[in-house]
Amino acid sequence: MTAPVEILGTPAVTASLAGWLAGQRWFAGESADGLAVLDAREVAVGQDGPAALVLAVVRAGAGDERYQLLLGVGPAGAVPEPAAVVARAGDTVVYDALADPRLVGGLVAGVLAGAESPGLRLVPQPAPNAAVPRPAAPAAGGLPVRPLGVEQSNSSVVVGDRYLLKVFRRLVPGPNRDLTVHRGLAAAGCPHVPPLLGAVEDAATGTTYATVQTYLPRAVDGWTLALAAAGSFLGEPAPPGRQAQADLRVAARTLGRAVAVVHRDLAATGGRVALRRVDYQRVAQRLARRLDLALALAPRLTAYAPRLRAELGSVATLDGSPRRTAQRVHGDLHLGQTLHTATGWLLVDFEGEPLAEPAERDRPDSPLRDLAGMLRSFDYAAHHPLTGAHEGRAADDRRWVRAARWASLHQQAFLDGYLAEAGPQDAGDRRLLHAYLLDKAVYEVAYETRHRPGWAWLPERALERLLGGGAAERGAA
């Protein structure tokens, strides 16, 4: 059999890789034509078997986007039942390795043990950062694997209900922000992030390929909880096998406290800087640029543009205050980035806004940006049950009123919890938070217009409320 790495460079296999890549949810390009394999290396998994694990870095699409592929390469009989075959080369097949328990289990075991693999660093985390027992390494080929839900930019698999292997698909040079932030929070002893067990990194550049965390099988993400609660409040049937709790205000309040603690620990690891008048002017300029980009993607925003420019531009008039600071923040915080466990809330996925450039993700920002993301997420959950029924509904329809009420109550509970831990707001805080809420809603309208046009009404209605002064979000702020 031809060496596994060499097979990926053959024209027929490269063409098949391009076709497969173009169909993946995490691929951001329009087409993967012209795919080039920039690097490929066999990963030592410490277990003998018919198929090899190959980590490939490919370039595809119009720009210089680079993606990671974890592939199994071996005889056809080595492909486990659920794995997708990507390409064939004679008697050899190339398949998606994340469905192979032996290869995935071997990789996780290698990370936990700090095993050696040419060109890679398999680095265990020195100690878990929460009071959760560190699981033992998986036995050879012993633990089942399954994908973790639907993700947009990465791939995560659960290994034996003990570990979560997160594979970064769209690569950025150097350490991934999710790993560096997680390591910093672990060092700070933050109780509100899942225990980090280790990572897979490039030995030369430090580029992060994957992380391993403790998997918490009884945890429920905040979006699932909120969606069920809002639906119950609106009279929707509960999800199969679950009794929905319509009132989550106590949980929302404790979530607010958890976010404040994470912000405190992020500041402890990365520092804070006071926002000056010139900083507010720069923030206003960034918000104006983001509005221009959104207008190009969503012409429906044009009717709101004059009022948006005025509201966003008013940030430039804020005076410096030692209370208002910039620091490292989550950057893409919403209910789907939270986990509710028996002991409290955890925050996950610290990569930042998916479409932002790496330098922008690392730029210190106001913690109020994270608050805006969470407040908007409660509004999304409240109105989600009304999706598809918005056309022709009167503004005073009882379900619309109840959805707005649910959102307002839970936004306020979340904010109350946050402020109880972080301290009160002043008028400048409220103005800046309102600007971030508008910016987030504008981003949502542009995103939905491009990807889910039938949903654009939801953030657009929020914009109308925010700009009209009667929004639930503004009341909460």
Decide which of 214, 247, 275 is a domain's last residue: 214
166 and 193 belong to one structural domain: yes
Given a cut of 60, whether residue 443 has pLDDT beyond it is: yes
Question: 44-48, 89-93, 200-204, 462-466 — which is least confidently predicted?
Answer: 44-48
- pLDDT tens for 226-235 read 999 999 998 8
- pLDDT tens for 207-244 read 999 999 999 989 999 999 999 999 999 887 766 666 66
At residue 274, the 3 state secondary structure works out as: strand
109 and 18 belong to one structural domain: no
Decide which of 79, 96, 113 is a domain's last residue: 96
Q: What is the CATH number of the domain that holds 299?
A: 3.90.1200.10
> Among 111, 140, 261, which residue's Cα sits nearest to residue 192?
261
String of DSSP letters for 167-219:
EE-B--SSS-HHHHHHHHHHHTT-TTSPPEEEEEEETTT--EEEEEEE--TT-
170 and 305 belong to one structural domain: no
228 and 263 belong to one structural domain: yes
341 and 424 belong to one structural domain: yes
275 and 382 belong to one structural domain: yes
Beta bridge partners of 68: 57
174 and 197 belong to one structural domain: yes
118 and 50 belong to one structural domain: no
- The structure's pTM equals 0.88
Distances in Å between the alpha carbon of 22 and those of 15, 30, 319, 367? Answer: 11, 7, 48, 36
- Can you tell me the distance from the alpha carbon of 248 to that of 121, in angstroms, rounded to the nearest whole number? 43
- Can you tell me the distance from the alpha carbon of 21 to that of 28, in angstroms, rounded to the nearest whole number? 10
Q: How many domains does the chain have?
A: 3
352 and 259 belong to one structural domain: yes
Decide which of 190, 214, 238 is a domain's last residue: 214
319 and 462 belong to one structural domain: yes
Strand arrangement of the beta sheet that strand 338-341 belongs to: 220-221, 338-341, 344-347
Q: Is 247 left (phi over 0), alpha (psi -120 to 50) or beta?
A: beta
198 and 256 belong to one structural domain: no
120 and 84 belong to one structural domain: no
- pLDDT tens for 94-113 read 999 999 999 999 999 999 99
Domain region containing 309:
220-476
- Can you tell me the distance from the alpha carbon of 72 to that of 58, in angstroms, rounded to the nearest whole number? 16
pLDDT of residue 133: 47
- pLDDT tens for 14-43 read 999 999 999 998 998 878 888 999 999 999
